[in-house]
Structure 1
């Protein structure tokens, strides 16, 4: 039976002197041995003490709430929240590419049986709203129900009178791991105009600073998938200084980059981008992504919608770096960052580029890139609503390197870490790479939150679908959902 391990942290606790306390590791069993679903923890996650903890460069005056995340199949990140009084627990996908909070309702049909469900009659703090809620995603799955109001608790921080959707109908979500989604984008992206959870945290004085930050762990064998902090940053999770870029259009966390380059080739100048924890890959306009992958030596695979690159006929050092320049800083992705490696058999590997084509437009008709998890694995992200800006700094995981059979690459390879370039002979030795690595017996497979399937298209969290040319609209997250 699949076991997904969740590791929960707490912030500093005052016992005469500040110290960092940790809750012991807890294993969470899947709902079914044939899927990647899992039950939510029924025990307390953390207890947050709100007395002036400090994290390096950021002095947190009131509190900085940690939310541990579980990295499921190196694609999705989850944490636990509670709704109502007494607490009703939900396993939630924290998504910077959407703004609504929704969970299944106890009034839902059999489609919700495997999920934790919200029961309004069991909560003393429930307030009826009744406004209809409906959302449809790019894979044609969807959720509908009504808006309600209740207390939402995130690691000891009680957000009162929070408007959220309790869904009475779900479609296409039977095998999902998470119970619901908590969006962290701007209010203009909500479907009902409600104030998002994080904005209420700040307005109710629950957090010290109007920022939240993400650390995503690329190591799928680690006990924790990452860390989300409300009200501060964790300076142990990044190095170098933070580069801030102003938000260009409130809705998504959208900003303007300076350029995208591959080696010495400029792929795009002054492109727009969004930072999205709900998207696995890095996506961009079709023409630009086609040019980028061509510069990598990639070939389009129509069966997967992705680009393959030849690993076995090339040395690792022959692959160029991909650089996103913004705010005066070069954010470098090495081959060890952007190659996904899958083993079809004992002697055959397939390598994919993490750069996928997706034509998206914002409300001003600007095409934009989506910097998903394969960017956020390597760069710590800070989201600042007070100054309307996004910050990035080199992640503590930037040089993380699992081992891969050296026979994958030809001749010699570059690398003992993702951030350095040293040549070493790799004849039947073990080299290290940061690319995803999995073994199957017949066809290339990748685990997703729904099930393990042959690769068909790049994966991200669901986004609301509109037309072939994706547009950003005022209400709702409007970009495409890739799905394996």
Structure 2
């Protein structure tokens, strides 16, 4: 349904009608273009002047301990600010709604059937093989046996979340989030269709709404963007230091058949080229410094080299392509398998046999209690080399080992089974820190380029994010807008 608003009226009654008296009342007519019309005029001006201006936008991201990269977005008019993971491994944007509350607990834990998994249950296939899976952190007590759940209770996850014991009160995942208030936005439109995004540890549930979304602090704004307003969040999200997720994959994997924000920007010609570039730096244990840049509308020639190796997408859903081998030391595997590039995955996943052989070559030891591999941080380990197309890509030591203690590092590879139709490899942040990833929506391809720099200089200050205030985390205002004091609910 289209709505046409010509102008608004401000009526001021200045006279009084008394006994025996008449009065003339003047209504002042004030022309004020409605907010949506102002947005239309602004977008029209941008698109008409596309030839005169370069519509390329660079958005800084914050690096949290080399494990999570997140950025600010704004939604609505006036703007409400949120911290989100920019995720090429999903296609929906969602943030907590003002009505958000914890996910309703279930009273009984289902008994797991053997593989293949039942599609309707909330447990992905890798939860069935949890003992051998680095994705154990994404599996709730409802998806694995209580005895094993207690065994791994104190294992820190990629999102720094320890799952509660079964007799502990589960945290309120909505309590410390910025929440979107549609009543405070002049550009909001109701959609109302429900959505559920399932994760191994639970889900985000809510309904869709429509509003203006901006990639802060840039001027790239997408009007009338459909996004998820989460009314229920699983306890898993309580200790995840972001408000939501902004998906950068294709509509084919979008819940609710929603067009993702970047794809919508391409369709509406809000950017120069249908390309975005991801540059991630090695920042270490910090949440105070810029950890990289997402460039929308072109190639990041400031941080990325001129030589780009393009690879066609094998499926236009995720950013998926063929990986043709891996080697390190005396080990080499030449299996041709599907792989995806995923900014939302902290580590690199591969088939279990591959991970075991890589770890053996590098001298990493498997810890049964922790369920992952460890090695001394000062180990003299060579790069891990993977082959994509006709090119070899070297992942250096500093990008695939993660310090967790005094001279103790975690091996940045884990194994999981995505099923027959899923990718065999997920190239997460260790690969993205090693190479710029250029995502070409128009030609359905992905490109890789050597970065001009791989770490931040001078070294950033180290901050314990668990004890740092939001003000400390976002002290550099030029990096990200400080949203710590804003409340929308």
TM-score (norm 1): 0.66
CA RMSD of aligned residues (A): 3.3
Larger radius of gyration: 2
2:348 is aligned to 282
Structure 2 residue matching 1:337: 3-state secondary structure: helix
Query: For residue 296 of structure 2, what is the aligned residue in structure 1?
Result: 230
- Which residue of 62, 66, 73 corresponds with 2:65? 73
Aligned ranges for residues 159-174 of structure 1 at < 5 Å? 159-172=222-235, 173-174=237-238
Shift of 1:107: 1.9
Q: 1:115 to 1:335 in 2, by over 3 A?
A: closer
- Indicate if the aligned counterparts of 1:340 and 1:437 stay in contact, CA closer than 8 A: no
Match of 2:193, SS state, is: strand
Shift of 1:124: 2.1
Match of 2:246 among 182, 187, 202: 182
Structure 1 distance, partners of 2:49, 2:300, is 11
Kept in 2: contact 1:340–1:354 (CA 8 A): yes
Question: Which ranges in structure 1 are unaligned for 5 or more consecutive residues?
Answer: 1-47, 404-435, 440-445, 452-484
> Structure 1 residues 304, 437: closer, same or farther in 2, change over 3 A?
farther
Residue 144 of structure 1, aligned match among 195, 200, 205: 205
Provide the residue aligned with 1:328 in structure 2: 390
From the superposition, tell whether residues 196 and 287 of structure 1 become closer, same or farther in structure 2 (CA, over 3 Å). Answer: same
**2:119 corresponds to which residue?**
none
1:369 paired to 2:425: yes
User: What secondary structure, in the 3-state scheme, does the structure 2 residue paired with 1:182 have?
Assistant: strand
Could you list the runs of 5+ residues in structure 2 that have no partner in the other structure?
Answer: 1-42, 102-171, 470-489
Deviation at 1:197, TM superposition (A): 0.5
Question: What is the match of residue 409 of structure 2?
Answer: 351
Conserved? CA contact 2:178–2:243, under 8 Å: yes
> Is residue 2:169 matched to residue 1:105?
no
Higher RCO by CA contacts (8 Å cutoff, separation 6 or greater) = 2
- Are the equivalent residues in 1 in contact too, given 2:173–2:233 (CA < 8 A)? yes
Local SS of the residue matching 2:265:
helix
Please state which structure has a larger fraction of its residues in strand: 1
Asked if structure 2 preserves the Cα contact closer than 8 Å seen for 1:213 and 1:380, the reply is yes
How far the C-alpha of 1:121 sits from its partner, in A, is 2.0
Note the C-alpha offset of 1:286: 1.0
Structure-to-structure mapping, 1:286-305, within 5 angstroms: 286-305=352-371
What is the 5 A alignment of 1:244-259?
A: 244-259=310-325
Corresponding residue SS for 1:235:
coil
Q: Distance in 1 between matches of 2:376 and 2:222?
A: 50
Q: Secondary structure at the match of 2:100?
A: coil
Counting matched residue pairs gives 352
User: Superposed, which structure 2 residues align to 1:468-483 within 5 Å?
Assistant: none
Q: How far does residue 437 in structure 1 lie from its aligned partner after superposition?
A: 13
> Following the alignment from structure 1 to structure 2, what is the Cα–Cα distance between the partners of residues 450 and 268?
45
Residue of structure 2 equivalent to 1:383: 439
**TM-score, scaled relative to structure 2:** 0.65
* C-alpha contact 1:253 1:390 (8 A) present in aligned 2: yes
Aligned to 1:203: 267
Q: Is the 8 A contact 2:197 2:204 kept in 1?
A: yes
